[in-house]
Structure 1
């Protein structure tokens, strides 16, 4: 009996451990799980994938635990941005120094590392076209949803059914007939810019220096405010200022994304990014709610992008397929950011290159004056501007706003004879394809708009290798908007002014999501 009691007591002790013991055991299991997950993600998987890809003949950089190539990439970027470059168009070594060096050493298809995640650079034009032409959804957009939401999710970030649903809703807003109705807003904004330049010239001694980068950001911000929201630039100015700051902060955060949960760390940068996002969303929610009240009271959606989007959304018969208010906010964030950035970048580099190559400035002006005289450009005649179009295409070739695109393999697949597992990042450096002498010829780094004299297909020898707005089913929905705005602005500037690069201009392209002039773009302006 005594033994039974003792045994029972012992069993009772074993069956009822103290709460402290349970907590220690649970903590130990969590630590073990975290260590095993980290080891798999940051050591075992990278080594396993590296061996598999190298066994198939793929060269590239060696994985460095745990940041991969991010530290070296950051160092080379900082070094490149510390000094300007000559006024030429061989900009890749400055804009993408690490990628340029890697491709130069290992070829057009090579392995690099985004933290512990393998990233394959694909600069082969045929493979880039194959990936961008995908209609089956095998290649997903690679994007940190949490980071992207801080600037704009929207159509550019979605995959699968959600992308298709948003594209269907947004398409009507970007039809050419709808864009034609926006031309008066383009004209009004450009007229105000022209008037401000003429005022500055009137107060000067015949010429005036100005930074067109700042002015074109204001111009395209004004255009997107009026055409998207029926409001003025002053109402949208705060959103543009916040998004500009956000873009700079996102670039800072990008190099630390390999650290799990980094965006939750209470750093000054992370806290400020969340504050900015909340303020932008609050401002946009106010604009949307104001429009919805107008629709409810008067039944008028408006002919701007917001109104057209809301009307298309309401006309979607199945309620479950409509966009939510949060979806609309994200699309509006994308309107603001992409709508301003793409065209301001294109116009800035266009004037810089026409300042470097005044003979083409003269040819473009001669064409504009022969078509419009001093009258305001109209929709139908803008499409007849052959020389202006050639110039814009050549600028987009040499200085594409988005220098690289990213995709991700959704499953195991073969690309160019190499089998890749699911989850491999694919970096498609558009600028390298645009600067490839095997495609464009030995004069690839020269500014020669005449290469587009017979259209894009002749310029590329019938190879689809011109990707300033992407390619395939996911080609940028706003490309016609951007080109129409750029043609209008450039035509009105050429009608009234001649310009040259200022001695204070420093050629220093670099990326802040899109391709910016690091030190601005100063020109000397004169009236005709």
Structure 2
């Protein structure tokens, strides 16, 4: 008898927690928004996921945001799955959140859940409070004025070389040149980062470029699937070793290993950075 009661109570508690997570908590927050006169709309459980996904499928990823801004104004509330969201394009509100009263705000659970799946939590993007300050101080030297100035010529040269490569390839082809712009821009970004920060030697290793690009592509595709089927935001399920999560974890490990390899080459003096000021490593 007591065992039956225990199982019944446990089952009811689980059901209550699910209802609270998916319906009660989002609804109560959206209700508070409405009471304060914040415009917007609330769609239970799925929120605006379907609208956002459709915008991406239509190759107009910002159309949803543009339409919502036209309909509701500079600020409005919505939801992404069970997570309530407050959107704003008002400069005064943005300054209040990011600068004036930043100590009272933390990164949204939704954003942390999505980014941490690939980046982890120990980085300048997701760290909070003192931990974030420590990470920011570590990377600040790279962005000092003298460092950035010393990289300008390298950035320009790398970009010019990229354009020249396209021109030569186009001249050698009898038909119009077709490029995967996403891949090309990723490679250009990698060239600039590795060339300026880690040295020209690292930039010339095309295997590294292909390796990083392919892993980023796989991880991004898997994360997109997990976002729109809401796997990435469901407690417990998001941490299960499902195929998508295993692929993302593998990509993260592979990119981490190749990055550590580049860093070790830099520390051993096998490569030389372009920046002339204090260096990150």
In the superposition, the TM-score normalised over structure 1's length comes to 0.45
Q: Which residue matches 1:56?
A: 36
User: Partners of 2:142 and 2:135 in 1: how far apart?
Assistant: 12
User: Partners of 2:173 and 2:54 in 1: how far apart?
Assistant: 43
Q: 2:235 aligns with which of 229, 241, 260?
A: 260
Shift in CA distance, 201/275, structure 1 to aligned 2, threshold 3 Å = closer
Kindly report which structure 2 residues correspond to 1:408-487, keeping only aligned pairs within 5 A, or say none: none
Q: Which residue matches 2:155?
A: 186
**Contact 1:67/1:116, CA 8 A, preserved across alignment:** yes
User: Partners of 1:193 and 1:287 in 2: how far apart?
Assistant: 22
**Contact 2:40/2:78, CA 8 A, preserved across alignment:** yes
Q: Does residue 203 of the first structure (1) align with residue 176 of the second (2)? A: no
**Deviation of the 1:278 alpha carbon:** 1.9
SS of the aligned residue for 2:38 comes to coil
Q: CA-atom RMSD, angstroms? A: 3.2
Aligned pair count reads: 269
Greater displacement, 173-182 / 27-36: 27-36
SS of the aligned residue for 2:150 comes to helix
Q: Which residue matches 1:108?
A: 74
Q: Does residue 148 of the first structure (1) align with residue 128 of the second (2)? A: no
User: Partners of 1:201 and 1:63 in 2: how far apart?
Assistant: 50
Please identify the structure whose Cα radius of gyration is greater. Answer: 1
User: Partners of 1:302 and 1:169 in 2: how far apart?
Assistant: 20
**Deviation of the 1:250 alpha carbon:** 1.7
**Contact 2:75/2:89, CA 8 A, preserved across alignment:** yes
In the superposition, the TM-score normalised over structure 2's length comes to 0.79
User: Partners of 1:241 and 1:173 in 2: how far apart?
Assistant: 27
The one-character-per-residue Cα deviations of 1:438-489 (angstroms, maximum 9, x if unpaired) are xxxxxxxxxxxxxxxxxxxxxxxxxxxxxxxxxxxxxxxxxxxxxxxxxxxx
Q: 2:249 aligns with which of 235, 254, 274?
A: 274
The one-character-per-residue Cα deviations of 1:13-39 (angstroms, maximum 9, x if unpaired) are xxxx9xxx65x5554443233222222
SS of the aligned residue for 1:121 comes to strand
Q: Does residue 67 of the first structure (1) align with residue 35 of the second (2)? A: no
User: Partners of 1:201 and 1:54 in 2: how far apart?
Assistant: 57
**Contact 1:114/1:258, CA 8 A, preserved across alignment:** no
Kindly report which structure 2 residues correspond to 1:360-375, keeping only aligned pairs within 5 A, or say none: none
**Deviation of the 1:208 alpha carbon:** 5.7
Kindly report which structure 2 residues correspond to 1:229-378, keeping only aligned pairs within 5 A, or say none: 229-230=198-199, 231-232=202-203, 233-237=205-209, 238-255=211-228, 256=230, 257-292=232-267, 294=268, 303=273, 308-310=279-281
**Deviation of the 1:285 alpha carbon:** 2.9
User: Partners of 1:56 and 1:135 in 2: how far apart?
Assistant: 20
Q: Which residue matches 2:91?
A: 125
Larger fraction in helix: 2
Larger fraction in strand: 1
Greater displacement, 145-154 / 249-258: 145-154
**Deviation of the 1:62 alpha carbon:** 2.6
Higher relative contact order, chain-length normalized (CA < 8 Å, sep 6+)? 1
User: Partners of 1:220 and 1:268 in 2: how far apart?
Assistant: 29
SS of the aligned residue for 2:41 comes to coil
Q: Which residue matches 2:12?
A: 32
User: Partners of 2:83 and 2:95 in 1: how far apart?
Assistant: 24
Q: Which residue matches 1:99?
A: 65
Q: Which residue matches 1:509?
A: none
The one-character-per-residue Cα deviations of 1:48-100 (angstroms, maximum 9, x if unpaired) are 22222212222211332x2222233323443x23xxxxxxxxxxxx3333333
**Contact 1:150/1:246, CA 8 A, preserved across alignment:** no
Shift in CA distance, 263/108, structure 1 to aligned 2, threshold 3 Å = same
Structure 1: tracts of 5 or more residues without a match: 1-16, 82-93, 311-528
The one-character-per-residue Cα deviations of 1:290-342 (angstroms, maximum 9, x if unpaired) are 445x2xxx7x995467x9222xxxxxxxxxxxxxxxxxxxxxxxxxxxxxxxx
SS of the aligned residue for 1:120 comes to strand
Q: Which residue matches 1:12?
A: none
**Deviation of the 1:158 alpha carbon:** 2.1
Q: Does residue 47 of the first structure (1) align with residue 27 of the second (2)? A: yes
User: Partners of 1:131 and 1:28 in 2: how far apart?
Assistant: 45
**Contact 1:201/1:208, CA 8 A, preserved across alignment:** yes
